Amino acid sequence: MEETGPRYAVRVFEGVIPYELDFGVMFHDMVRSEHGSRALVSGFATFEPGCALPLHTHNVEEVVTVLEGDAECEVDGQTCCLRTHDTTFVRPGVPHRFRNLSQVSLLRILWVYAQVDDQGRRVRVERNVLA
């Protein structure tokens, strides 16, 4: 079977329109299925000082790397502090959240989601807010 759709994508950050996922948290979707990706979606998030994502789960695996700033990360009831280049991995269904610890500086993260579930089936990434 011949593949359809783009074989690669180059996305320039300045050309990506951000959106506010939660108060004070802007997302930039860099790679999605419409860019040709079959197994991953990725992007950046910027947290204003003191802002946070609510406790939530996903239906797919997630990796987050702190690019700038200090974050509080809660995963499955455990809380830790993350600094630049610290990275988390969270399995589907595990409650988690991130918060910018600074009251003056931005927090920037890189996020990557699988686009397949535990059985290897292609799925859309879903977020289920818990609190």
* Interval 42-70: pLDDT, tens: 999 999 999 999 999 999 999 999 999 99
Q: What number does CATH give the domain 23-129?
A: 2.60.120.10
Rg (CA), the chain: 15
Q: Where are the domains of the chain?
A: 23-129
Task: Indicate the average pLDDT of the chain.
Answer: 95
pLDDT digits (tens, 9 = 90+) for 90-120: 999 999 999 999 999 999 999 999 999 888 8
Q: Where are the beta strands (DSSP E) in the chain?
A: 19-22, 25-31, 40-47, 56-58, 62-68, 71-75, 78-82, 87-90, 96-100, 107-114, 127-129
